[in-house]
Amino acid sequence: MPRLENGLTLLAKGYAWLPDVRRRTGRRAVGVRLGGLPAVGIEGPEAARFLYDEDHVRRSHAIPEPVQGTLFGKGAVHTLDGEVHRVRKAMFVSLLMREDGIASLVQRTTSAWDDAVPEWTRRPFVVLMGESAQVIAGAVTRWTGIPLRDDEVPSLARDLVAMVDGFATGGPRHVRARRARGRRQRWLTELVHDVRSGVTRVPEGSAVDVVSKHRDADGTQLSARVAAVELLNIIRPTTAVAWFMAFSGHALIRWPQYRERLAGGDPAFAEAWAHEVRRFYPFAPFIGGRAPQQLEFGGEKIPKNAMVLLDLYGQNHDPELWDSPYAFRPERFLDREIGEFELVPQGGGDPRTNHRCPGEQITVALLSALAVRLARLDWEAPEQDLTIALHRIPARPRSGVVLRVNSTV
Ligand code: HEM
């Protein structure tokens, strides 16, 4: 398994790492090193198409241990290839990509937001990122059928945020992420055992029910631990929509001219907002896997077993794809079809068959609905540090976006 650290340059430069090498060399495909291994960084719709061909890139044995030990979990769908991947992925698609399921999750989450607002008005200030994480974590966890008391929500939200926050660093954030993963895997492993033995009853067809019963391509049931990993692969990334809420708060403070239009609730504009937030702000830096054979892309030789990295942040700011890419302009998505391999904050291509994120509709639906609520809320932003450091992966506004909430409007 490759190590993560050689990323001395990666750690120092973060999101600017691959774009800087491309700028320096004037090439779309650049040879670099990651974790001591040769790697090739690529970018653009053709590059995305190239990466999603399984003859070009395999995921097993490609994801560094520190990322599996915090972000994805060991044995996760992210690390599978071929038929084994397709059968596991079909489980996620059936749970996450149904319109009625998405609508009920949005309904639960917006109600949880509305319930939280009166309490926010009684406090001197709230931190948008943390509050959003609690609202979403409580709602999505109950939506999956996992039993959860109200008093368990804050610590669960903290753990889910920690797992995302600590995957790309060696410091205390990483230690927190590993501890959080250990705690939550143990909790859900026990739940899966109890569901299987009938000690705990969960709703038929809920994610807990489906994941507990799922059989892999070889006909075997998931181990309780892997079932716990995959349940976390639903509730953790959904809670991570809190990052996009913090970015939405950042955007409303920086470009207040959009607040009224967003508050108007026009679904087309709210969706365009969600797309622009996901395009403009840095979150997932790149995705990748290993080349199973010697390959070539964009004039760059890719040795067998080298890592192939698709630069998501770079592609979302490619001037050939996006007019004035460093301008925040939600309108750009009002009159534009989005090609399958163009907007890639959550991967590209067809999520039903490849590794693209199966939670993209959920992300857009939740973000659109919550951003409209944020725009409607009566708040002011006190003086604070809203810097988003590009060397920190995952990036976030430093203050977490502090708001003084005035009334429940
Ligand atoms: C995969 C980003 C939300 C579940 C991915 C990938 C990215 C990503 C970049 C990898 C794509 C690839 O390797 O080709 C994000 C971001 C999100 C988000 C930025 C916003 C917070 C969600 C949500 C869910 C989810 C809401 C579930 C409800 C997954 C799963 C995979 C995945 C299960 C693995 C898919 C596979 O390997 O086949 N996501 N995601 N994500 N995401 Fe998301």
Give per-residue pLDDT as tens, 362-374: 999 999 999 999 9
Question: For residue 238, which atom of ligand 1 is closest to its CA?
Answer: 26
pLDDT band at 11 (very low <50, low <70, confident <90, very high): low
Give per-residue pLDDT as tens, 270-328: 999 999 999 999 999 999 999 999 999 999 999 999 999 999 999 999 999 999 999 99
Contact 300, 49 (CB under 8 A): no
Question: For residue 140, which atom of ligand 1 is closest to its CA?
Answer: 28
- Centroid of ligand 1 to alpha carbon of 234 (angstroms): 9
CA distances from 88 to 95, 214, 354 (A): 11, 8, 11
Mutation probe of ligand 1 site: the residue of 357, 361, 393 with most atoms within 8 A of C-beta: 357
- Centroid of ligand 1 to alpha carbon of 148 (angstroms): 24
Paired tokens of 151: 């008093």
Q: How far apart (Å, rounded) are the C-alpha atoms in residues 375 and 330? A: 14
- Centroid of ligand 1 to alpha carbon of 351 (angstroms): 10
pLDDT exceeds cutoff 60 at 173: yes
Q: How far apart (Å, rounded) are the C-alpha atoms in residues 158 and 133? A: 8
Percent of the chain with pLDDT over 90: 92
Q: Could you tell me if the CB of 135 is within 6 A of ligand 1?
A: no
Burial 191-207 (b: 16+ CB within 10 A, else e): bbbbbeeeebebeeebb
Q: Could you tell me if the CB of 351 is within 6 A of ligand 1?
A: no
Give per-residue pLDDT as tens, 228-273: 999 999 999 999 999 999 999 999 999 999 999 999 999 999 999 9
- Centroid of ligand 1 to alpha carbon of 359 (angstroms): 6
Contact 61, 332 (CB under 8 A): no
Q: What's the ipTM?
A: 0.99
Phi, psi of 29 (to 5 degrees): -115, 125
Q: Could you tell me if the CB of 347 is within 6 A of ligand 1?
A: yes
- Which among 222, 225, 223, 196 is positioned nearest to 209, based on CA atoms? 196
Question: For residue 287, which atom of ligand 1 is closest to its CA?
Answer: 13
pLDDT confidence of residue 408: 60
Handedness of CA 284, 162, 87, 360 (dihedral sign): negative
- Which among 245, 233, 236 is positioned nearest to 130, based on CA atoms? 245
**DSSP one-letter code for 182:** H
Question: For residue 51, which atom of ligand 1 is closest to its CA?
Answer: 14
- Centroid of ligand 1 to alpha carbon of 58 (angstroms): 17
Give the three-class secondary structure for 312.
Answer: helix
- Centroid of ligand 1 to alpha carbon of 346 (angstroms): 6
Question: For residue 351, which atom of ligand 1 is closest to its CA?
Answer: 38
CA distances from 148 to 63, 141, 177, 188, 234 (A): 31, 7, 21, 11, 15
Domain definitions of the chain by residue range: 8-407
- Centroid of ligand 1 to alpha carbon of 163 (angstroms): 14
Binding residues: 357
Tell me the CATH number for domain 8-407.
1.10.630.10
Question: For residue 349, which atom of ligand 1 is closest to its CA?
Answer: 14
Mean pLDDT of 383-400: 96
Q: Could you tell me if the CB of 345 is within 6 A of ligand 1?
A: yes
Contact 400, 130 (CB under 8 A): yes
Least confident of 12-21, 78-87, 92-101: 12-21
> What is the side-by-side order of every strand in the sheet holding 30-34?
30-34, 37-42, 307-311, 286-290
- Which among 35, 75, 66 is positioned nearest to 163, based on CA atoms? 66
Q: Look at ligand 1, atom 26, and give the residue with the nearest C-alpha.
A: 238
- Centroid of ligand 1 to alpha carbon of 282 (angstroms): 15
Mean pLDDT of 21-47: 91
Binding residues for heme: 357
* Cis bond before residue 330 (omega within 30° of 0): no
How far is the first Cα of the chain from the last one, in angstroms, to the nearest whole number?
A: 52
Average pLDDT, the chain: 95
Q: Look at ligand 1, atom 38, and give the residue with the nearest C-alpha.
A: 355
Q: How far apart (Å, rounded) are the C-alpha atoms in residues 40 and 49? A: 15
Q: What is the DSSP string of 366-403?
A: HHHHHHHHHHHSEEE--S----B-TTSSS--BTT--EE
